[in-house]
């Protein structure tokens, strides 16, 4: 049985177990752990060295693997440029911006002025000529006034649209909602007058000119609808004013058509269908 007081006894040794061949042992005995140094300890160790004397852009960053094979993997020569970037270029100071006038191209806008000088007015681009509108309005208000034929060839629809809306607005103020009748009768009347003028005139006429002239000549009827707000047109005064308005509209329209189409001595033939058309608008105004 092992004695715990024995100097060769170690913890965990059971009775009957043979003492192993190792242990702390006696400090004076030769048995025990040896702390002898290796025979190569203290000698010069050979560490890997690198060659920095190379000047190549791609091989300067690759370590010399000739003396330490297996420490670094061999990099193929074909992939050196893809893995290792090229060295930065040295800035020589020749790329500064020189803010001279010769460095910039001369602008055409500065030499020729603003680019909007030759632009037409906005109303003219939209097909609205205020001068032609004013001239046509004066020709309607004064049927005896001489009118330039070139102005009548302008297919201006801004004035007719304004007069039609004013006519319907005045009827609305007098309690008559006739917008659908106005547009329907106006379209049918313009088509009928257009067909008649093409049969009578040698040069022919466009539908735009027909609509423009008939729309401008609606101005006396617009004035009649404005009067109907104040007084009733079903009396004697109303009948007289209505007859004057129809006559005024038909004379103005026939005069403009004859002037634009050079239809000499045919104004009464043109005035009659125009009077019938404006008579329908007069009936809408009265009733």
Is pLDDT above 50 for 201? yes
pLDDT tens digits, residue range 18-69?
555 544 444 445 455 555 555 555 555 555 565 555 544 444 445 555 554 5
Q: What angle do CA 188, 193, 198 make, to 5 degrees?
A: 130
Return mean pLDDT, the chain: 75
Q: How many CB atoms lie within 10 A of CB 198?
A: 15
pLDDT tens digits, residue range 132-170?
888 889 989 998 888 888 778 778 888 999 999 999 999
Task: Note the pLDDT of residue 22.
Answer: 47
**Could you please report the per-residue DSSP string of 5-23?**
TSTT--TTPPTTPPPPS-S
Task: Note the pLDDT of residue 164.
Answer: 95
Q: Determine phi and psi for 123, rounding to 5 degrees.
A: -65, -35
Task: Note the pLDDT of residue 149.
Answer: 80
The percent of residues in the chain predicted with pLDDT above 90, rounded, is 40
Q: Please, what's the b/e burial string for 244-269 (b: 16 or more CB within 10 A of its CB; e: otherwise)?
A: ebbebbbbbbbbbbbbbbebeebbee
Task: Note the pLDDT of residue 145.
Answer: 83
Chain centre distance of CA 202: 48
The percent of residues in the chain predicted with pLDDT above 70, rounded, is 59
Q: Residue 72: helix, strand or coil by DSSP?
A: strand
Q: How many CB atoms lie within 10 A of CB 74?
A: 9
Q: Rounded to two decimals, what is the model's pTM? A: 0.58
């Amino acid at each position: 049985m092992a004695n715990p007081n024995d100097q060769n006894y170690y913890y965990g040794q059971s009775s009957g177990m043979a003492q192993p061949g190792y242990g702390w042992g006696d400090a004076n005995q030769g048995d025990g752990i040896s702390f002898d140094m290796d025979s190569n300890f203290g000698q010069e160790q050979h560490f890997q060295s690198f060659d920095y004397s190379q000047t190549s852009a791609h091989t300067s960053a690759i370590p010399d693997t000739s003396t330490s094979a297996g420490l670094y993997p061999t990099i193929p020569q074909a992939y050196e440029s893809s893995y290792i970037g090229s060295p930065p270029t040295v800035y020589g100071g020749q790329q500064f911006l020189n803010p001279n006038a010769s460095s910039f191209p001369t602008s055409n806008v500065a030499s020729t002025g603003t680019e909007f000088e030759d632009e037409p007015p906005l109303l003219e681009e939209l097909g609205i000529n205020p001068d032609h509108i004013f001239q046509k309005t004066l020709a309607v208000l004064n049927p005896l006034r001489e009118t330039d034929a070139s102005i009548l060839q302008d297919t201006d629809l801004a004035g007719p649209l304004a007069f039609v809306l004013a006519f319907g607005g005045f009827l609305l103020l007098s309690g008559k909602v006739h917008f659908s009748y106005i547009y329907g009768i106006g379209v049918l009347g313009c088509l009928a007058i257009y067909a008649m003028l093409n049969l009578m005139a040698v040069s022919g006429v466009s539908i735009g000119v027909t609509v423009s002239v008939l729309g401008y000549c609606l101005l006396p009827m617009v004035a009649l609808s404005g009067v109907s707000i104040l007084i009733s047109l079903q009396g004697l005064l109303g009948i007289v004013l209505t007859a004057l308005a129809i006559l005024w509209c038909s004379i103005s329209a026939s005069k403009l058509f004859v002037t634009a189409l050079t239809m000499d001595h045919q104004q009464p033939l043109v005035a009659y269908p125009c009077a019938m058309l404006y008579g329908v608008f007069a009936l809408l105004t009265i009733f």
